[in-house]
Each structure stands twice: as C-alpha cells, then as structure tokens.
Amino acid sequence: MEDIQHQQMGYDRAATMFAPDGHILQVEYAEKTIRLGSASIGIVCDNAVVIVSDRRKRDSLVVEESANKINEIDDHIICVSAGISSDARVLIDKARVLAQQHRITYDSEPSTESIVRDIADVKQQFTQYGGARPFGVSMMFAGFNGEPVLYTTDITGNYLRYKANAIGENDDAIKKLLREKYKEEMTSSEGIKLALEIFKEVQGDDFSVDRFDVGILSKGKIEKLSGKELE
C-alpha cells in the first residue's frame, strides 16, 4: 500500500529522488530486475575460485558458446552477471579497459578489489545523477592475487568480499543452502559438485547439467567447462 502511495506521489520517477521513508524507489526496482536474471554461484576453494552459471534453456538455434555469461577481465580475473545482459556488457568492457590501463601505467597486474571498486563507483554514480537509470545488473568477480578471492557488486555501488555467494533468481534459497553446506578448503571439483547439487535441489525437475557453464580460476590459469564436459 505504501509503495502504491509513493508511486502516485511520483517518488519513483527519478533515481535522484528519495521517498519519505528514505528509499530510492528506482534503485529498488532495479534490484528486482536482478532476480529475473539467471542464477550463478561463486565459491572460493582451496587454491581456486569456481563460478557455476545457469544459462537457462535457450532456443536450439542459438550457438551455446555465445550465451556463456562467464567473462574474462584479465588473465587473473573473471566475472559473471545477473540482470540485464546489455548493462553487464558495458560494465565488463569498462572493467577490461581499467585492467589494461593499470598494466600500462604501473607495469603490474591490478588487484581484483581495485577493479571491483572502480566498477562499483560507476554503478553508484548512476544512482546519484539525473538523466539516466541505474544499471540493472549484479556482478560477481573472481580473482587470484596471491590467493583466491570473490567479490559481488550490487545496484547501489556497494561491494563485499565473500567465501561463497549467489546472484540471480532464487538467490535467497541458494544462499541459505550455501551457508549450510559450504566448507573451507574444498577442492575446485568439490566446489563445482556442491554448486550443481544446490542448483539441483532448488530447480527440481528443471535441472539439467547441459544448461550450466563453469569457470575455474586458479593461479595463472582460467578454465571453462560447459554442458556434457561437466558430467
């Protein structure tokens, strides 16, 4: 009822307008967009980070490789997103440019957190200035700077480091299962198996190994698996 009242009063017309209860409604609407996107799970393992991404069932005419959401940012950073894919593509390109600029300027690889922070800054700007809507995408970055790390950025421009996390549809149910089943010092194979078991529990009859892509980031190596390779 309160949301309807705020809409009638026009508090949801701009990302620069606060509602009387302190909410920015355009940002909250964008957060709902993320939960319409396909889910991904990230897990920090013993000496690697794994990302398991659901690409959903797609048109049989689509080439599967073109639907892979796991993107390489640098040779030690990968990223997956949930929400509006076109928004994610713009931010992924931005992250790649930032990584290369750092290498050219400082002749060293950028830290994962520095890239995540810069992308989070861009997201924050679009919740503060008029004339543009917020980015409707949540992004999960896996990196390896001496140790495996996992970061997630949200709509508002916040970012946090995680041991394991999920973004996209059913993220609350997936996170609940992760809290129960996640163990530190898992191998990458155990991490992938855990993620697929959780997806199977959440998706039920809709579960199929063929619909998942996996990215494994270890020291100096990025490996991608999909479909029947996972069996």
Q: Helices (H) and strands (E) in the chain — how many of each?
A: 6, 10
- Domains of the chain plus CATH, in order, are 36-230 (3.60.20.10)
pLDDT in tens, the chain (231 residues): 556 555 546 788 887 888 888 888 889 999 999 999 999 999 999 999 999 999 887 677 888 777 788 999 999 999 999 999 999 999 999 999 999 999 999 999 999 999 999 999 999 999 988 788 999 999 999 999 999 999 999 999 999 999 999 999 999 999 999 999 999 989 999 999 999 999 999 999 999 898 899 999 999 899 999 877 777
19 phi and psi, to 5 degrees? -75, 160
Stated pTM of the model: 0.92
Q: What is the pLDDT of residue 71?
A: 96
Q: Which two tokens stand for residue 8?
A: 């009638």
Residues in the chain, total: 231
Q: Which two tokens stand for residue 218?
A: 């270890």
CB 70 within 8 A of CB 80: yes
Q: Which amino acid is at 56?
A: R
Q: Supply the Cα-derived Rg of the chain in whole angstroms.
A: 18
Residue that has been written with the tokens 């959780």 in this structure: 198
Closest CA to 187 of 47, 38, 66: 47
Are 42 and 165 in contact by the 8 Å Cβ rule? The answer is yes
- List CB contacts of 118: < 8 A, sequence separation 6 or more: 94, 95, 98
Q: 101: part of which helix (H) or strand (E)? A: helix 85-106
120-144 burial: b if 16+ Cβ within 10 Å, else e:
bebbbebbeeeeeebbbbbbbbbbb
Structure tokens at 140: 């999960």
| Closest to 112 in 3D by CA, of 67, 144, 147, 156 | 144
